[in-house]
Amino acid sequence: MNRLSKIKLGTSMPARAELTARKNDCEPQLIGEPTGEYYDVILYFGIIDILQDYDISKRLEHAYKSFQYDPTSISAVDPRQYSRRFKDFIYKAFQEDS
């Protein structure tokens, strides 16, 4: 029996995270630059946005906030765009060990 057969998703799942540093506080940046420092971590996931409908109120919120902010950075976006943004972030944040 190998080590991986004992692991169940969400239970006793070893994970390591690399510390990243942002270039500066003024420039928007989702993921900072790698520092080479690794730490053992425990991950908790909760996705609650599936409980909300993207109805007329969310469309109006997006339109209003688009005047003040970058439209791609607003949380209230079309579900397809939200899905792509979420997957892109997860793929960048959680990479396989090399």
For residue range 81-92, what is the model confidence (pLDDT) as tens digits? 888 888 888 777
| CB atoms closer than 10 angstroms to residue 77 | 21
85, part of any domain = yes
Decide if 56 is inside a domain: yes
Say if residues 39 and 14 touch (Cβ distance below 8 Å).
Answer: no
Q: pLDDT per residue over 15-58, tens digit each?
A: 788 888 877 766 666 677 888 888 888 777 666 667 778 899 99
User: Would you say residue 33 lies in a domain?
Assistant: yes
Query: CA-based Rg of the chain, rounded to a whole angstrom?
Result: 18
Confirm whether 48 is domain-assigned: yes
CA distances from 90 to 14, 28, 63, 85 (A): 17, 17, 26, 9
16 domain-assigned: yes
Domain around 48 = 3-93
How many domains does the chain fold into? 1
pTM summary value: 0.50
Rounded Cα gap, residues 96 and 72, in angstroms: 27
